[in-house]
Structure 1
Amino acid sequence: MGFFSSAHRRRTRTGVNGPNTGSDRSRVEPERPGTELEEISRRGLLAGVGAVGSLSLVGSSARVGRTIPGCERAAADAGPEHVPRPVDDDVTMFRRGLRRYGYYPDVTVPDEVRVDWSTPVNRIGHTAAKSTPRPTSDGETILVAADTGVIRALTPEGNERWRLETGASRSLGFHGTPAIVGDVAYVGGYDGVLYAIDVESGELIWRTGIREFDGAIAIGSSPAYIDGRLYLLAEYSDPASGALWEIDAETGTPTWSDDRIWGMPHPSPAIDCDAGRLVTGSNDGVVYCWEFPSLEFAWSFQAGGEGGPDGESMAGGRFNLGAEIKGTTPVYDGAAFVGSWDGRFYRLDLADGSEEWSFETGQVIMSNPAIDPDEGVVYVGGDDRHVHALDAETGDELWSTNVRGHVIGSLTATADAVLVGSYDTHLYALEKETGSRRWRVENRGHVTSGPIPRGGRIYYAERGVFSNFWDDSEETVFEEPGHAYCLVADD
């Protein structure tokens, strides 16, 4: 979880669509109501106080009219809406594609399951959701990125192929999920470094240096990949802020960035090639949207809320800390779907960012929702301890199920069930039509990764187990590591 410093709250930026003053952007954005004041980017602020060593990259104004063949192919594809994009059997990534649906229409979930194997991976008490185990495209290797900074390659049977210890071990390790393209995996760490790893050998191909992301302190975002380019968010402190980056996947060289983001952003960018949009949220409670592939800034949307526990806000009150957006925003049907700490789940028009509907839970929402595009249903969980099935067009609730604990990780939709982890230490399978519980599996810690069905198995991970974690008056004690699990049918 990112925290906002007093230096951040003293910043003078009060809008997200005003004139740009950052070193990598030179255009003026269209004026929108309530955003007429000047925008000050993170680089612009640091440059103003004599900071040195920051990058000056080609801004989006120089990219108008560019094309990305993979996005053109994806937009022209007339196949089923549920097909992951890019349409490439050799690419696998977080939430199963650029649109971040988390949908597996060809998978049915067994009526009963058992734990086939588990292995210890996570040992850090950080409150962010844990990295999701990611199978390669052929399903023969499962990569597990741990909060210890170790990446492991496992067989479907749980045998270790290799392990790689990285510099992220000196921070909070990994929370993002690898994107796997052919025989290369890409994952960012809480050391602010992006790693490219050979999937077969576990050898490091390249890693970015601290200057290449302009002094980023963390990358919790899971990369999106298309046509040789990676897109991810980086986090900064003093002031607390973020940036969207485009990176050459072959070399690790950044090719573009936009640092207009406030707050330390955790979500993973979603791309809709049909609508020509890239969207993400951040800890400032704002959804940001760029045209794609030109990367011209398009619009922003501010979630509601009254600020944090002490009514805190930032940028002259423009942004409410209590409205933080930590979940990834899937894009479907010309809309973006996003939950906020303001207790609402929104559908936003991708064309202009206008709110089409919102659903109120009254509690923090920070999970990654799943979308079934065949049925037009979105599934979301939150701190209200419920999973809600909503009509994607109207926002009407179809059913709601209590899973007895906070839901902060990723939901997964299959042909017949919704898989979801809970703070109550269980992984649940819910009937997709009714929400009734099919089964639940007891684990050790909070289940906060996404559950991934592959080859008759279900992979997921949990947090480590701590006592007194939420009690400041007592010493926090590490009890046992969180495990990665593999479930199989219990015939």
Structure 2
Amino acid sequence: MVDGINGDGLARRQFLSLAGTAGTVGLVGVSGRRYRREPDCTAVREGATRADGYVPLPADDEISMFRRGLRRYGYYPDVTVPETVTVDWSMPVNRIGHTAAKSTPRPMPDGETILVAGDDGRVHAVTPTGERRWELETAAGTSLGFHGTPAIVGDTAYIGGYDGALYAIDIERGEIHWRTPPRAFGGAIAIGSSPAYLDGQLYLFAEYSNPPSGALWAVDAGTGTPVWSDDRLWGMPHPSPAIDCETGRLVGGSNDGVVYCWEYPSLEFAWSFQTGGEDGPDGDVQADGAFRLGAEIKGTTPVYDGAAFVGSWDGRFYRLDLADGSEDWSFETGQVVMSNPAIDPDEGVVYVGGDDRRIHALDADSGENLWSHNVHGSVIGSVTTTSEAILVGSYDGHLYALEKESGDRRWRIENRGHVTGGAIPRDGRIYYAERGVFSNYYDDDEPTVLEEPGHAYCLVADS
């Protein structure tokens, strides 16, 4: 590994694993540069101004990303959710018991192909009506498959796997264009992060073990070559980086309960914020390099109005100032918060769910709770907001549509397993995915049994 080197010439993770009784090592990451050029944010800033800030990138209509863009809003202002819906088609995609949120189906920019990544390491390409175009089996199937969502640029999809590799997939042919192996990421064991794309570069978090830690990577999208990294993160970071070109910030959280922020596009480190109270999470770095997890951050952190919005396992949801990381406000739920929140930038409202089994609509400026609705199960996936409704999956096995103004239920539709993939509305259809159905999953004395695969679904208006 070229970068992330301490004074003795060892990668920090390797150094800590060998440290023995050398003493506690703090959060001191080291950034490294290889051949990275700074991307041009001009077009993104101009595009955001023209379109009130919610478009993912300026209007070339060739880019599609998790949470609909760099700011990770999950906002679809031009979509109207039907008053009632029915399942048009479904297909099995998820077969692994891992409880992490499942990959969100991602339409190509033209809407003619839908990509669905499964936790068995397969990627499926289907038409909007459910006709299969191709199915690609990858080496990620030897681990926990895919949980991140592909970033689509032109005819190429980029996605990280739980095998620690990054894949570029030719969408027209259903073939791997290139695969960057785990060793190129310093021995990563997983990439659950959904890549952000800007001006020829991808940004993602990678995960490591011995000790549990992470790194932010920049990768050349044309070749798959890593060009920069910073390994200061502790815990194993699952979230996806969010980028705000207007404020010049890139942010993301990790399982250590810390929100990390870099200047953008320079990637100089800017600040960090520790959730879990003044004393930090319930754990620290040990002399042997081990790390006990505390107030984990699992959800992606959207950026809006000069602020970052993040939920934590400490039972709070925060608004942080992007300039210096100071806390503007926090909202207490009393339970773990790990969903990907949605933001309506036109109304200035953020929607978030958690283990309190509720969706909360919060005023983004003040943190005031505008309404809360019980969805009868934990919310660990993505919340989606449209012109007049909220879409959210629940551990109770349903996908919900809630009225945006009041939180009243418009409809809910029953599924097989826990609905932990985000719901994507496109051209009169709603796509989403669920976890498989398992028995004995939490029973250490009995083998876990897959009763039924988790499906990807397409809903249409009920005629």
How far is the alpha carbon of 1:61 from its aligned partner?
A: 11
Secondary structure, counterpart of 2:266 in structure 1: coil
How far apart in 1 are the matches of 2:277 and 2:131?
Answer: 47
Q: Is the 8 A contact 1:306 1:320 kept in 2?
A: no
Q: Is the 8 A contact 1:60 1:296 kept in 2?
A: no
Residue 3 of structure 2 corresponds to: 24
How far apart in 1 are the matches of 2:351 and 2:42?
Answer: 29
1:313 is the counterpart of 2:292: no
Residue 487 of structure 1 corresponds to: 459
The partner residue of 2:188 within 216, 224, 236 is: 216
Residue 109 of structure 1 corresponds to: 81
Equivalences for residues 40-439 of structure 1 within 5 A: 41-42=12-13, 44-45=15-16, 59=32, 67-69=38-40, 71-77=41-47, 78-87=49-58, 88-304=60-276, 312-315=282-285, 321-439=293-411
**RMSD value over aligned CA atoms?**
2.4
How far apart in 1 are the matches of 2:71 and 2:262?
Answer: 14
**Moved runs in structure 1, 4+ residues, more than 3 A?**
25-28, 43-49, 60-63, 305-308, 316-320
How far apart in 1 are the matches of 2:282 and 2:168?
Answer: 39
Unaligned runs of 5+ in 1: 1-21, 29-39, 50-56
Q: Is the 8 A contact 1:445 1:465 kept in 2?
A: yes
How far is the alpha carbon of 1:76 from its aligned partner?
A: 3.5
1:455 is the counterpart of 2:427: yes
What amino acid is aligned across from residue 44 of structure 2 in structure 1? A
How far is the alpha carbon of 1:90 from its aligned partner?
A: 0.2
Greater displacement, 417-426 / 475-484: 475-484
How far apart in 2 are the matches of 1:120 and 1:170?
Answer: 18
How far apart in 2 are the matches of 1:333 and 1:326?
Answer: 22
How far apart in 1 are the matches of 2:357 and 2:447?
Answer: 27
How far apart in 2 are the matches of 1:76 and 1:399?
Answer: 34
Greater displacement, 82-91 / 147-156: 82-91
How far is the alpha carbon of 1:468 from its aligned partner?
A: 2.1
Q: Is the 8 A contact 2:71 2:302 kept in 1?
A: yes
Aligned CA distance change for structure 1 residues 306 and 482 (closer, same or farther; 3 Å): farther
Greater displacement, 351-360 / 77-86: 77-86
How far apart in 2 are the matches of 1:270 and 1:81?
Answer: 17
- Percent of paired sites with the same residue: 72
How far apart in 2 are the matches of 1:461 and 1:397?
Answer: 29
TM-score, length of structure 1 as denominator length: 0.87
Aligned CA distance change for structure 1 residues 25 and 168 (closer, same or farther; 3 Å): closer
What amino acid is aligned across from residue 268 of structure 2 in structure 1? E
How far apart in 2 are the matches of 1:154 and 1:454?
Answer: 14
What amino acid is aligned across from residue 314 of structure 1 in structure 2? D
How far apart in 1 are the matches of 2:284 and 2:31?
Answer: 28
Aligned CA distance change for structure 1 residues 58 and 406 (closer, same or farther; 3 Å): closer
How far apart in 1 are the matches of 2:279 and 2:457?
Answer: 38
How far is the alpha carbon of 1:473 from its aligned partner?
A: 3.6
How far apart in 2 are the matches of 1:215 and 1:255?
Answer: 16
Residue 18 of structure 1 corresponds to: none
How far is the alpha carbon of 1:84 from its aligned partner?
A: 1.8
Aligned CA distance change for structure 1 residues 209 and 423 (closer, same or farther; 3 Å): same
How far apart in 1 are the matches of 2:323 and 2:31?
Answer: 25
How far is the alpha carbon of 1:321 from its aligned partner?
A: 2.6
In the comparison of the two structures, how many residue pairs are matched? 447
Cα deviation 1:305-360 (Å, max 9, x = unaligned)? 6999xx95122699873310000000000000000000000000000000000000
How far apart in 1 are the matches of 2:307 and 2:51?
Answer: 17
How far apart in 1 are the matches of 2:325 and 2:101?
Answer: 27
Residue 7 of structure 1 corresponds to: none
The partner residue of 1:476 within 448, 460, 463 is: 448
Q: Is the 8 A contact 1:409 1:421 kept in 2?
A: yes
How far is the alpha carbon of 1:152 from its aligned partner?
A: 0.6
